[in-house]
A = this chain, B = another copy of it.
Amino acid sequence: MSDPEIVVSAPGKVILFGEHAVVYGRKAIAASLDLRTHLKIHLSPDSTSVTLELPDIHLSRTWQVADLAAARPTGDADLKNPSPPSEQYLAALHRLAGTDTDHTDTRSLALLAFLYMYTSIHSTARTCPAGRFHASSQLPPGAGLGSSAAYCTALAAGLLTMCDVITRHEGKNDGTGTTWSKENLEVINAWAFQGERLIHGNPSGIDNSVSTFGGAISFKSGEISALKSVAQLKILLVNTKVPRSTKVLVQGVKDRYNRLPAIIEPILNSLEEISGTCERVLQDLGGHPVEIQENTQEKNYHVLEELVDICQSLLNALGVGHPSLDQVSSVTAKHGLHSKLTGAGGGGCALVLLRPDTAPEVVDNVKTELKDCGFDVWETSIGATGVSQHSQPK
């Protein structure tokens, strides 16, 4: 058994480039977003119950350890290579959660993912430990920022560490936390993906991969590749809070594509080239020692800003823009900053690129103006560390 207190955190994700184009087999780039979900596990050897606290969605539930232990799947389980739950096992989880397969609301799905991971990861253990699981997130839910993946990744990392399936890897510590070996991260990722499947049905695996490994990945036709030594970029993340349906937006692009394929096809090709260029620039920015970086950095930031502008215009050409996103662009452009929608568009979130030397007063002015528009704004970074364990409770 590990420490009685375990704290882990996992980041969200943003799509940097290639949203929508990815549906047509074009390359997309996603990066970790340093708005994190923290999971604090406090083990109570003297207790007989397990409590899950999710204050963001006003949820607190307690189960008897015996009931959870009884719901565990039977048979041999490969804890390093998880497989989806059987129907019978899933039914048992629904009974414990007090939900059924028709419940697709955030709270029901969050309960289900926890119960699944808790019971599965303890399937070969002698006993199930009692304790309190407290998860809270800086990520707004349902905004396309991978909040469910961050939750699942943090749960997987916390539970696997707690059961000693994986062990803390002290080699890497950037001051914010400790992470695990590549092999152990693969195990966390596999579990997080199973959690995502329970929540989303048929997820791409992008969100949990980015949350686990951090940095940035490219994604094309189902293939995920990690980018090497990616730079961390400062950004503002803006939530316009305009509700939108990803499904409706994807269908809108499909309709436009079917009406005007010869016009839309080259736009998708251009978006693919933007992703490819971004990949090279991010690795170039991340791969240089600081001393010789300045000139390259200036040039690379200029290219990134140009990619952001072009991509935003091309997404508008696909019809997934929104007046609220135009407002973000207009406010940021006025201050010499560059922004694009991230994710499905039609409202939702936008990211604003900051340079390492963007003056703090510019950032403050832009934040104030964007907040005055009624938007939520976070000053954060992308390309940050993936899932981490923290020595001190947070």
> Chain A: residues with CB nearer than 8 A to chain B?
256, 259-260, 262-267, 269-270, 273-274, 276-277, 303, 306-307, 309-310, 313-314, 316-317, 319, 321, 323, 326, 330, 333-334
Contact = CB atoms under 8 A, between A and B. Distances in A.
B259 A263 contact: no
Contact of A274 (B263, B316, B333): B263
A25 to B, nearest CB: 15
A309 B330 CA distance: 18
- 8 smallest A-B Cβ distances: which pairs? A313-B317, A266-B266, A313-B316, A266-B269, A266-B270, A262-B273, A263-B273, A310-B317
Given A309-B316, A313-B317, A326-B326, 20 more contacts: A256-B306, A259-B306, A260-B303, A260-B310, A262-B273, A263-B270, A263-B277, A264-B270, A267-B267, A267-B270, A267-B310, A267-B314, A270-B270, A309-B317, A309-B319, A313-B314, A313-B316, A314-B317, A316-B316, A323-B330
A180 B260 CA distance: 39
A309 to B, nearest CB: 7
Copies of the polypeptide in the assembly: 2
A276 to B, nearest CB: 8
7 contacts: A263-B274, A263-B307, A266-B266, A267-B314, A323-B330, A323-B333, A326-B330
A307 B321 CA distance: 15
A257 B274 CA distance: 13
Contacts of A270: 263-267, 270, 317
Task: State the main secondary structure of chain A at its contact with B.
Answer: helix
A272 to B, nearest CB: 9
Contacts of A256: 306
A148 B316 CA distance: 35
Contacts of A326: 326, 330
A262 B270 CA distance: 7
Contact of A259 (B303, B309, B317): B303
A193 B264 CA distance: 37
| Among A259, A316, A321, A330, residue most surrounded by chain B Cβ atoms (within 10 Å) | A316
A390 B266 CA distance: 47
A266 B62 CA distance: 57
Contacts of A306: 256, 259-260
A259 B256 CA distance: 29
Contacts of A267: 266-267, 270, 310, 314
Contacts of A303: 259-260
A7 B154 CA distance: 82
Nearest to A299: B259
Nearest to A274: B263
Contacts of A310: 260, 263, 267, 317
A183 to B, nearest CB: 37
